[in-house]
Amino acid sequence: MPLAHRRRIASLAAAVLAGAAALNAEPDGGIISAARDAAIPPWESLPTAYRAQLSRAELDRIRSDRRFECLRVIYASGGLRVTGFVYKPARIPRSAALPVVVYNRGGNRDYGAIDVWDKVIFHRLAESGFVVLASQYRGADGGEGSDEFGGSDVEDVLSLFPLARRLGYVDMSRVFMLGFSRGGMMTYLAIRDGAPIRAAAVIGGVSDLPALAAFRPRFLSLWASLWPSFERDGQTQMVERSAIRWAERIDKPLLLLHGVADRRVPLDQSLRLAAALRRSGRPVELRVFPGEGHELAGRARERDDEVIGWFRSHGAAAAPSRPG
């Protein structure tokens, strides 16, 4: 058989296989695999910064608590396999319809990836009755694709909603969102793009990327490494990711918490966003923490209680509506 003919056959076979793969591709939010996540390490193994946010007694209690489990999942998002987490009760009643928190982490790529610090927050939310869903975002923790810091990776957050529906034990009328730092930006973008939530809370959130770059110029080199077209239209992309420029599109009740001594994302990012939201008639509350830094580490329990109280005030504890 001539070489050219063999190549045409090989090309046709590859096309058929690609078409079959596309037909069988998992839809957004489809769980490809799930396994129990590694246990939370003992107190002695924690970084000093983490110990500031919880006591040894609380960590020991969380480590021994068998009421809940953390699943590490690989799920589909935009044709990619992305890593995420489901933190839930170990035993779920057949008639359960639990409220959900979609948790948006900070950082970029594997820096700031979800670890024990985040899972302590997951546990606090779970003890208050929530199922927690979280994404590492594409390109992190073994996931496919590349982190774009608020570009196509926002789809990884939005894909958690169909994932939640498929679980079968959550109440999709009681979904909330919590974001830290970069995760605040992801929260604003997800709301702008139609995330079906009741309310959101953001801690130390990024709302104005050009202003953040002026405060910390190192972000420009980071974004240049994450956005392929940064040299051509970086300024446009920064504006598109900045909620301060389209505050009127944030149409969900929003709680902003920020430390006065935040050296990573300055307080001004939340002050100005809150003012813009109020001018647009959007519901917003701002809590300022004197002396606290980026993660409000010194008042972590109060921080989490504020968030849980905010969600409860917007229907988290409402009786679930189920078909008759």
What share of the chain has pLDDT > 90, as a percent?
A: 82
| Interval 66-95: pLDDT, tens | 999 999 999 999 999 999 999 999 999 888
Summarised one tens digit per residue, pLDDT across range 116-131 is 999 999 999 999 999 9
In this prediction, residue 319 carries a pLDDT of 45
68: β partners: 89
Domains in the chain with CATH codes? 25-313 (3.40.50.1820)
Residue 22 has pLDDT above 70, yes or no: no
Separation of alpha carbons 116 and 118, rounded Å: 5
Mean pLDDT over 182-210 rounds to 98
Of the ranges 156-160, 224-228, 239-243, which one carries the lowest mean pLDDT score? 224-228
CA distance 97 to 95: 7
Helix (H, G, I), strand (E, B) or coil at 97: coil
Largest CA distance in the chain: 78
* Separation of alpha carbons 188 and 237, rounded Å: 15
As a whole number, mean pLDDT of residues 207-228 equals 96
pLDDT digits (tens, 9 = 90+) for 154-168: 999 999 999 999 999
pLDDT of residue 51: 84
Which of 289, 309, 308 has the alpha carbon at shortest distance from 299?
289
The region of weakest confidence among 51-65, 138-152, 259-273 is: 51-65
Does this model's pTM top 0.85?
Answer: yes
What pLDDT shows up at residue 48?
Answer: 87
Q: Do 283 and 253 touch, CB atoms closer than 8 A? A: yes
Grade residue 270 by pLDDT with cuts at 50, 70 and 90.
Answer: very high
State the Cα–Cα distance between residues 151 and 108, nearest whole angstrom.
Answer: 12
Q: What are the tens digits of pLDDT across the range 294-316?
A: 999 999 999 999 999 999 999 98
pLDDT tens, residue by residue, 279-296: 999 999 999 999 999 999
Residue 11 has pLDDT above 90, yes or no: no
Q: In this structure, what is the dihedral angle of CA atoms 193, 199, 203, 209, given to the nearest 10 degrees?
A: 20
Residue 19 has pLDDT above 90, yes or no: no
Query: What dihedral do alpha carbons 270, 124, 318, 73 form, nearest 10°?
Result: 90
